[in-house]
Amino acid sequence: MSRITRKIADESARRLNTILGLPTEIYTLDEQSNEYVAQIGCIHICSQNGTNNIYQIDNEAGGCKGLAYGLTIRECNDWLNAAMVGIMLDRKV
């Protein structure tokens, strides 16, 4: 079993967002107002208190809805890859 790093899991999240046609960055800088703007729909990993959660940006203020909680990085990567496989299987039908 190979080691799964945060970078690998973040890349899986980026690929999932790309497959779904969602933004790949959580926040982008608005050039005119010079403020960061939440990218609604972006799926990402958030680490806190020694665990990892998978969230999706839900509104313009940066509020998130939880998709999976209390995971290791390996479990996050597995969850994201399973979601990608499910989407690909659904689209082939």
Q: Which residue in this structure is represented by tokens 């940006």?
A: 57
User: Which comes out higher in pLDDT, residue 92 or 27?
Assistant: 27
Cα end-to-end distance, the chain, whole Å: 32
User: Is 1's pLDDT higher than 80?
Assistant: no
pTM: 0.90
User: Is 93's pLDDT higher than 70?
Assistant: no
- What pLDDT is attached to residue 92? 83
CA distance 92 to 84: 13
- pLDDT tens, 32-86? 999 999 999 999 999 999 899 999 999 988 899 999 999 999 999 999 999 999 9
- Farthest-apart Cα atoms in the chain, separation: 47
CA distance 38 to 26: 6
